[in-house]
Amino acid sequence: METSGGDTYGNLAFAREPDRQRAPEPQAPPQRPVNTPLHVLPTLPPAPTHPEDLGLPDRFVEDLLLKTLYRIAVPTPMGLSQATRIPPAVIRTVLDELKRTRWVETTAASGRLESEWQYRLTEAGMREADNAFTRSRYVGPCPVPITEYFRLLEDDQEAGAPDPVRLARALQQLVLARDIVAKVCLALTSGRPALLWGAPGNGKTTILELCSEAMFGVTMLPYAIFVSGHIIKLYDDLVHVVVEGEDSVDSNSSVDRRWVRIRRPFVFVGGELRPEDLDLAYDSAVGYHQAPPHLKAHGGLLTIDDFGRQAVAPHQLLNRWIAALERGEDTTTLVTGERITFPFRSTICFSTNLEPRSMLEEAHLRRIPYKIRIPEPTPQQMAEIFRRFADAMGVETPEGTVEAAVDLVHTASAANPRSCHPRDILQLIIEEARFVKRPPVLDPNACRRACEVYFASNAGTWA
- For residues 294 and 346, membership in a common domain is answered with yes
CA distance 395 to 379: 20
For residues 104-118, one letter each, b for 16 or more C-beta atoms within 10 angstroms of the residue's C-beta and e for the rest, the string is beeeeebeeeeeebe
CATH number at residue 401: 1.10.8
Burial label for 75, CB within 10 Å (0-12, 13-18, 19+), is buried
Residues 384-433 pLDDT 10s: 999 999 999 999 999 999 999 999 999 999 999 999 999 999 999 999 99
| 283 occurs within a structural domain | yes
Q: 364: closest CA among 302, 309, 311, 317?
A: 317
CA distance 243 to 374: 34
pTM of the model: 0.77
The boundaries of the domain holding residue 420 are 379-455
How distant, in Å, are the alpha carbons of 206, 399, 455 from that of 12? 8, 22, 20
Residues 176-210 pLDDT 10s: 888 998 899 888 888 888 999 999 999 898 888 88
CATH number at residue 76: 1.10.10.10
- For residues 281 and 369, membership in a common domain is answered with yes
CA distance 135 to 60: 10
Q: How many CB atoms lie within 10 A of CB 457?
A: 13
Q: Per this entry, what is the length of the chain?
A: 463
Strands 230-233 and 224-227: antiparallel
Phi and psi angles of residue 243, each rounded to the nearest 5 degrees, phi first: -65, 140
Q: Kindly state the average pLDDT of the residues 226-251.
A: 82
CA distance 92 to 65: 11
CATH number at residue 173: 3.40.50.300
HSE-up (13 A, CA, CB side) for residue 434: 9
- pLDDT score of 290: 92
Residues 56-115 pLDDT 10s: 999 999 999 999 999 988 788 889 999 999 999 999 999 999 999 999 998 866 556 666
| 20 occurs within a structural domain | no
Query: Into how many domains does the chain fold?
Result: 3
